[in-house]
Structure 1
């Protein structure tokens, strides 16, 4: 599942990287973005992958609220929000994990 999610993130990054660069209002220093995702939404990092141009693609989500966010961090430390939504659920081998189960 992590490979599938990483592949999805990389494909998403390839199609939205230019949009993120054109809209810097969706970008900020990495520490500020992580504080906001954690503090405002209770999101923690769920998966990670390396994207184009040595960018870091990450998925953050909250098990409690179900919110999720995909970010891309460039080598210079600028982090851009690529997508976000609700109803995040963890899967392992295409099986929905139950509360308290570990991935």
Structure 2
């Protein structure tokens, strides 16, 4: 490799590293903005979207996963709350439907 080619390659790697740090910083900043005290998050989901808790479960490290939805508008939000009470929005969308499906018969892969 010539000196110029090596310098260009090093410059490209440095630029890629900076872009990666910027993207990671942006993702981390967005994550921080999408989290808050549970009471505040639940109140906003109720006030802005009419969503109430539809289901919940216990996840890894005692985190609580909850699904909030509005029967009226069909909007839904999935949250995870840490044991310390910090709630983060994980996903949201529209066209929520409550389903209760029977388990398939034993021995049936479907």
Following superposition, which runs of at least 4 residues in structure 1 exceed 2 angstroms of deviation? 19-22
The size of the alignment, in residue pairs, is 76
Contact 1:47 1:58 in 2 (8 A): yes
Where structure 2 has 5 or more consecutive residues not aligned to the other structure, the ranges are: 1-26, 103-110
Alpha-carbon deviation of 1:84?
0.1
Residues 50, 80 of structure 1: alpha-carbon distance in 2 compared, 3 angstrom cutoff: same
Contact 1:45 1:59 in 2 (8 A): yes
Query: TM-score scaled to structure 1, two decimals?
Result: 0.69
Where structure 1 has 5 or more consecutive residues not aligned to the other structure, the ranges are: 1-18, 95-103
User: Is residue 59 of structure 1 aligned with residue 51 of structure 2?
Assistant: no
User: Is residue 73 of structure 1 aligned with residue 73 of structure 2?
Assistant: no
Separation (CA, whole Å) in 2 of partners of 1:91 and 1:53 = 28
What's the C-alpha RMSD, in Å, of the aligned pairs?
Answer: 1.9
Alpha-carbon deviation of 1:21?
9.2
For the pair shown, the structure with the greater C-alpha radius of gyration is 2
If each structure's strand is expressed as a fraction of its own residues, which one has the higher value? 1
- Residues 19-69 of structure 1: CA distance to partner in whole angstroms, max 9, x if unpaired? 779821110000000000001000000100001110000000000000000
SS of equivalent to 1:33: helix
Query: TM-score scaled to structure 2, two decimals?
Result: 0.65
**2:45 equivalent in structure 1:** 37
The higher-RCO structure (CA 8 Å, 6+ apart) is: 1
Residues 62, 79 of structure 1: alpha-carbon distance in 2 compared, 3 angstrom cutoff: same
